Amino acid sequence: MKTLVVITGPTGVGKTDLSIRIAETFQTEIISCDSRQLFKEMTIGTAVPTQEELSRVPHHFIQTHSVHDYYNAAQFEVDVLAKLDDLFESKQLVVMTGGSMMYIDAVCKGIDDLPTVTPVVRNGLLKQYEEEGIDNIMQELKEHDPVYYTQVDLNNHKRVIHAVEIIRMTGGPYSELRTNTVKNRPFNIIKICVNREREEVYDRINRRVLMMIDQGLEAEARSLYDYKDLPALNTVGYREFFNYFGGEKDLDYAIERVQANSRKYARKQLTWFRRDKAYEWFHPDEQEQIVDFIKSQL
């Protein structure tokens, strides 16, 4: 049966190298499920694979959109399923890797069939967000859907905006349309999560942030400062620099916040992945064991 192998784990753990090696072993291609590597203006801060890495194995869904484009997990589900239909014409197995929890679940489990948001509604909300910020949109969500207001991560402006989009489209609460029903997929799914000891993950994150600084993260963030209110840029590694550019403390503090928030995000990822009992857990250096496990499931 056609098989999708999901390789995920916390940020900085070493998913990119492992996934390329697995894809090379099975002579296949990689679908990226990193919700920020989608954007072509965000290269350093999202740890986009190097040109050498990209040349070893064909990758999909990397730097395909602009930060000015609206894109969400529901669109990703549709796009990836279409790409898988194409890839499975010639491949028995495809690798999907990244750490964006909602994007992984969108492909593996599906998202509720919600009404298509019209450009008028979407552009109107984005314009409101850019001009007024998120507070009035949050208030609208609280008034029209207090249930979802208590459930959503209010720091995730993209999810808040999407909920209000649906409210404006339907005239009813977003929470009443969410069934969380798992959809059947016409392919097998093997789910692998890789992890290291916590202190090792933290050390790798801290060192990777310093490497990004050496590569020019500050300049990359500065080039995007004028667009800092776009949902795509509400991202660790950028918003800390935006605060610094706006006068908050100094460069060293900004770097420390990038490191701290990246570690916090890694903890959030692990909490999410541990709730899904379908994952098999490995150390990223256990490539042979991972290959053997995949073969045993085919």
Enumerate the H helices of the chain as residue ranges: 15-25, 51-56, 73-87, 101-108, 119-132, 135-144, 146-151, 157-170, 198-215, 217-223, 239-245, 251-274, 287-297
Q: CATH number of the domain at 119-177, out of 3.20.20.140, 2.40.70.10, 1.10.20.140, 3.10.129.10?
A: 1.10.20.140
Question: Which superfamily does CATH assign the domain made up of 3-111+188-297 to?
Answer: P-loop containing nucleotide triphosphate hydrolases (3.40.50.300)
* pLDDT tens digits, one per residue of 24-63: 999 999 999 999 999 999 999 999 999 999 999 999 999 9
* pLDDT tens digits, one per residue of 49-100: 999 999 999 999 999 999 999 888 889 999 999 999 999 999 999 999 999 9
pLDDT of res. 286: 97
Q: Quote the CA–CA distance of 212 and 129 in Å, as a whole number.
A: 29
| pTM for this predicted structure | 0.84
Residue ranges of domains in the chain: 3-111+188-297, 119-177
* pLDDT tens digits, one per residue of 201-231: 999 999 999 999 999 999 999 999 999 988 8
